[in-house]
Amino acid sequence: MNVTVRGRTNHYRTVAFDTAKNSVLLIEQRLLPHQFEVIGTRDFKETAKAITDMIVRGAGAIGATAAYGLAQGARAFRGKDLKKFERHVEIVYHTLKSARPTAVDPVNAMNDVRATMNSGETVEEQQALALAAAEEFANHDVQHCEEIGKHGAKLIRSGMKVLTHCNAGWLAFVDIGSATAPMYAAQAEGKKFHVFCDETRPRSQGATLTAWELAQQGISHQIIADNAAGHLMQRGHIDMVIVGSDRTLGRTGEVANKIGTYTKAVLAKRHGIPFYVAIPLSTIDWDMKSGFDIPIEERHESEVLGAWGITGKGKREYVRVANPGSGAFNAGFDVTPAELITGIITPAGVFKPKELWGRRKQLGFIG
Ligand SMILES: CSC[C@@H](O)[C@@H](O)C(=O)COP(=O)(O)O
């Protein structure tokens, strides 16, 4: 999307690759909305760390980062011995896979890259194929988000008030975003609507990233405290909810997304408000049989006990908020059951969550 920094507007992708430097280029999301900076990782270990430390975050963005990271690691190998190369690629794969556990996109992305690489007969061929496959994954991510926008925009009417949780915008993908795609497409069609962004503690992706994105695009929005949505729904101030997903189970239609999503889905059901989840196809896990099996990331307690912000003098600082001596439990994600979800907005159309399995062919997963 276009970003205006100090009066200059440029188009950026959240994740890109510098072939000459063999470096993954990432927007440093921890600095937003106060500073806009693009960093380059020097090797696959730095790329994995950028995922763990949330320099880059969001299902599609970490999927593309893992795909490029795999290509980066493969391209760094020196020599012609295919067996040694395969052992090296295995290490790169597992390092990137374990960077964050809940989102399935990194695994799906790297499996795609590896499948393409396997058709190469030499180390050199496989290295070239790895980069081509990573580029293809990133381009598909953008195409899928565009398609999600086309289908999802039909659900938004002028005058609507839409709630979203966390950031499933272009910063969480390579471009455009999943939950935001219908909003950007509806805006392009001239519709006027208002978005409530859950602040999304503890990392505040809604207050920092989604709000920044919507402001950049000139979409009317307000940040609300995480616990305000019930009140707004009860008073008729929310017409629909659109969120993203880090892993959607193709067999059951359950959706793992940022902690607090489940609560919003329960509230939406109680108030008869449609609750949509927007996903590219790389977010679907076709194998897992139950939402209880989804690995839920537990992050450091410091995220709950305090917050990062910017001082009056422009310095980025962490402040402790909670009682000194108290600890915290910090689960990053929760799982929303299918019956609370009105529809899944996919690149191929809007489906009931339990319809996904029967639509594998239409979605391109069986021949
Ligand atoms: C990219 S879709 C998932 C997002 O909607 C978002 O809710 C999310 O859970 C991302 O989590 P994050 O921990 O910021 O990587």
ipTM of predicted complex: 0.96
Q: Residues with Cβ within 6 A of ligand 1?
A: 57-60, 166-168, 172, 178, 205, 243-246, 257-258, 332
The residues, ordered by sequence, that sit 6+ positions from 292 with a Cβ below 8 Å of its Cβ are: 335
In contact, 130 and 70? CB cutoff 8 Å: yes
How many CB atoms within 10 Å of residue 270? 12
What digits encode the pLDDT tens for the residues 333-352? 999 999 999 999 999 999 99
Q: Which CATH architecture group holds 2-145? A: Up-down Bundle (1.20)
Query: Could you tell me the distance, in angstroms and rounded to a whole number, from the CA of residue 324 to the centre of ligand 1?
Result: 29
pLDDT at 166: 98
Domain range annotation of the chain: 2-145, 151-359
Probe target for ligand 1 pocket from 104, 174, 178, 205, with the most ligand atoms within 8 Å of CB: 205
**Residue carrying structure tokens 């507007």:** 9
- 160: CB partners within 8 A, 6+ apart: 193, 194, 239, 240
Answer yes or no: is 234 a known binding residue. Answer: no
pLDDT for 221-257, tens place per residue?
A: 999 999 999 999 999 999 999 999 999 999 999 999 9
269 is in an annotated binding site: no
Q: Is the dihedral of CA 39, 44, 46, 49 positive or negative?
A: positive
pLDDT of residue 222: 98
Per-residue buried b or exposed e for 302-341, using 16+ beta carbons within 10 Å of the residue's own CB: ebbbbbbeeeeeeeeeeeeeeeeeeeeebebbbbbebebb
DSSP secondary structure of 54-120: TSS-SHHHHHHHHHHHHHHHHHT--SS-HHHHHHHHHHHHHHHHTT-SS-SHHHHHHHHHHHHHTT-
Give catalytic residues, as residue numbers.
Answer: 246
* Cα separation, 334 vs 292, whole angstroms: 10
Atom number in ligand 1 closest to CA 57: 15
- pLDDT band for position 197 (cuts 50, 70, 90): very high
Cα–Cα distance between 253 and 353 in angstroms, integer?
Answer: 4
Looking at 3-7, 171-175, 178-182, which range is the least confident one? Answer: 3-7
Average pLDDT on 278-285 reads: 96
Classify 196 as helix, strand or coil: strand
Q: What pLDDT is recorded for position 94?
A: 98
What's the pLDDT band for 364 if we cut at 50, 70, 90?
Answer: confident
Instruction: Determine whether domain 151-359 maps to CATH 3.10.310.30.
Output: no
C-alpha–C-alpha distance, residues 24 and 66, integer Å: 10
Do residues 112 and 132 make contact, with C-beta atoms less than 8 angstroms apart?
no
Rounded to whole angstroms, how far apart are CA atoms 21 and 24?
9
For residues 66 and 51, is the Cβ–Cβ distance under 8 A?
yes
Counting from 1 in the atom list of ligand 1, the atom nearest the Cα of 166 is 7
Measured distance between the N- and C-terminal CA atoms of the chain, rounded to whole angstroms: 34
Cis peptide before 33 (omega within 30 of 0): yes
pLDDT at 367: 55
Say whether pTM exceeds 0.90. Answer: yes
Report the pLDDT averaged over residues 199-210. 98
Q: Answer for the pair 41, 47: CB distance below 8 angstroms, yes or no.
A: yes
Number of H helices, E strands in the chain: 11, 18
CA dihedral of residues 95, 29, 161, 265 (deg, nearest 10): 30
Strands (DSSP E) found in 225-305: 240-243, 247-249, 255-258, 275-278, 284-285
Average pLDDT rounded to a whole number, residues 274-288? 97
